[in-house]
Amino acid sequence: MGDPRLLEVAQPVRDFNAPELHALIADMRATMAALNGAGLAAPQIGVPLQVAIFGGFKSPRYPEAEEIPDTVLINPQLEFIGEALEEDWEGCLSLPGMRGKVPRYKRLRYRGFDLAGRAIDRSVSDFHARVVQHECDHLNGILYPMRIADMRQFGFAEVLFPNQASMEE
Ligand code: NI
């Protein structure tokens, strides 16, 4: 946080066959795995493209929830379903060690493309919807603290949640 590249609007991917795109995703996967992330967007490693990865893990916050599929999401479009918002804690690899309570739409439909250029079209809710909103915000230059409604609900994970391991988005 503080790097101006995190505040830019990312550009759409035009060439799904570019070797650079495949190298970018390999780099993102390695970064997310090494840092125990729930998701990662290309601007977080300094690349201004509309590419996000997320999922492939059991949610630590909703252990009973359905697993989010391991996803590469390119050129996403979001459509919120209903007006219901839900607040919950988020973290982010771009501001490690912090947590904030962020209101997000409870349900949404997201569309985009995978790495092979195949269409993705999913309607999801709860933690899955939250992760998608968090990652797509990165593609629009928005970090989760900008969404916090009550700044008293923002702090260090080790203070807010002592003895609890959690993931960063
Ligand atoms: Ni993040």
Matching residue, tokens 């973290």? 91
Q: Where are the domains of the chain?
A: 4-160
**Distance of CA 131 from the midpoint of ligand 1 (Å):** 9
What pLDDT does residue 16 have? 95
Told to judge if 135 belongs to the known catalytic residues of this protein, a careful annotator would answer yes
pLDDT digits (tens, 9 = 90+) for 57-87: 765 555 666 789 999 999 999 999 999 999 9
Alpha-carbon gap, residue 61 to 38, rounded angstroms: 11
Tell me, rounded to whole angstroms, the distance of Cα 149 from its chain centroid.
19
Helical (H) or strand (E) element with 103: strand 98-105
**Distance of CA 29 from the midpoint of ligand 1 (Å):** 14
Alpha-carbon gap, residue 128 to 131, rounded angstroms: 5
Is CATH 3.40.50.12780 the classification given to domain 4-160? no
**Distance of CA 160 from the midpoint of ligand 1 (Å):** 19
Residue 103 confidence (pLDDT) above 80: yes
**Distance of CA 125 from the midpoint of ligand 1 (Å):** 18
> Which of the residues 66, 67, 135, 158 is marked catalytic?
135
**Distance of CA 155 from the midpoint of ligand 1 (Å):** 15
What pLDDT does residue 35 have? 87
Per-residue pLDDT, averaged over 155-161, amounts to 95
